[in-house]
Amino acid sequence: MYYLKFNIARDDHYTKLKYTFFINYHFKTFFGSTFLGGLYLILITLCFSKNFKNILFKNHKEDIIFYIIFSAYFLTLAYSIIRAPIMSPKYVIFIVPLIIIWILLNFSKIYKINLSKYLVLITIFLYFINIDNYPIKRPPTKKVLEHAIKNDIKLIITTEPDFFINYLKTKKIVRDNKIKIIKYKDDILIQEDKFWFLCLNYARFAHGNTFKNSNGNLMEKKCSDFKLNQYYFNLFDFTYIEILPPNLEFEDYLIKEFSKFSF
């Protein structure tokens, strides 16, 4: 209940509404590849165009499935426009079997072709061709944390939301090495000789595989705006300086390393 209240109250999410949604409607992610997603999108479009009047006026039992599919898309789209963007495939992933069932029911009825056998064979074939080509790969969080340990980092500061901080804290590598992970505040008190600033930078799960931050070396505003309150630290006769350029070695993440500097 707390998690539900927290997400309803939020006015910002990582899943932005992009024009590409109106091209593939998550089908690329749902079915694992551009080819397979495109095939299912063409099939459902054919069935919808041929069955449009029946869906609107005759209300056949099998069309309840279509109403569920449409409602799932409509609700997430409406919430994204009115409240906050939640256009992630994971929020409507439950409609995938419904899409397949509705296509099979309507295609055989409209075109008098038993599509199921052909669709199974094509799906298996394309799946094995693209078995290593995941549409959205997970961020290399473990490698980033291993890199932190290698550099003797005991403190990580981030501007990311609380759920991301809690996610990092659940990692065994963080607990075993007693790495502190805290959210950035202007008056934050730091005792360590050095620390990391860690930021999700154009993460693929939010922006898709089409963006490669390692090529463009671009930096999101939330990552570039990080600044320590120098006046606050000057009161203690020391400050922190960035000792290396921002590390963009790891896709999805930006890392800045700071070290204590005494006057």
106, 156: one domain: no
123, 6: one domain: yes
103, 177: one domain: no
Provide the pLDDT for residue 188.
Answer: 66
Mean pLDDT in residue range 213-237: 65
124, 206: one domain: no
Provide the pLDDT for residue 144.
Answer: 92
pLDDT tier, 7 (very low <50, low <70, confident <90, very high otherwise): low
125, 16: one domain: yes
Provide the pLDDT for residue 28.
Answer: 84
Q: Tell me: the pLDDT tens digits for 36-56?
A: 888 899 999 998 988 888 888
Q: Quick check: is 136 in a domain?
A: no
Q: Quick check: is 49 in a domain?
A: yes
Provide the pLDDT for residue 263.
Answer: 61
Number of domains in the chain: 2
How big is the chain, counted in residues?
263
- Is 215's pLDDT higher than 90? no
Q: Quick check: is 248 in a domain?
A: yes
| Boundary residue ending a domain (98, 129, 160) | 129
Provide the pLDDT for residue 235.
Answer: 52
Asked which of 8-22, 114-128, 237-251 is least confident by mean pLDDT, the reply is 8-22
95, 146: one domain: no
Provide the pLDDT for residue 234.
Answer: 54
> Within 10 Å of residue 76's Cβ, how many Cβ atoms?
21
Mean pLDDT in residue range 209-213: 52
73, 149: one domain: no
pLDDT tier, 118 (very low <50, low <70, confident <90, very high otherwise): confident
> Within 10 Å of residue 101's Cβ, how many Cβ atoms?
13
- Is 203's pLDDT higher than 90? no
Q: How deeply is 258 buried, as exposed, middle or buried, from its count of CB atoms within 10 A (0-12, 13-18, 19+)?
A: buried
162, 102: one domain: no
40, 121: one domain: yes
Q: Tell me: the pLDDT tens digits for 183-200?
A: 887 666 677 888 899 998
217, 109: one domain: no
Q: Quick check: is 134 in a domain?
A: no
Q: Quick check: is 235 in a domain?
A: yes
Beta strands in the chain (DSSP E): 155-158, 180-183, 194-200, 238-242, 253-262
Q: How far apart are CA 63 and CA 44, in angstroms?
A: 13
- Is 20's pLDDT higher than 90? no
Q: Measure CA of the first residue to CA of the last residue in the chain; give whole Å.
A: 50
Mean pLDDT in residue range 51-72: 85
Provide the pLDDT for residue 13.
Answer: 60
Q: Quick check: is 135 in a domain?
A: no
Between these two residues, 217 and 153, which has the higher pLDDT value? 153
Q: Quick check: is 174 in a domain?
A: yes
Report the chain's mean pLDDT, rounded to a whole number.
Answer: 79
> Domain range holding 125?
2-129
Q: How far apart are CA 195 and CA 217, in angstroms?
A: 22
pTM: 0.57
Between these two residues, 232 and 92, which has the higher pLDDT value? 92
117, 147: one domain: no
Q: How far apart are CA 142 and CA 145, in angstroms?
A: 5
202, 243: one domain: yes
pLDDT tier, 74 (very low <50, low <70, confident <90, very high otherwise): very high
| Boundary residue ending a domain (102, 129, 156) | 129
| Boundary residue ending a domain (64, 99, 129) | 129
- Is 117's pLDDT higher than 80? no
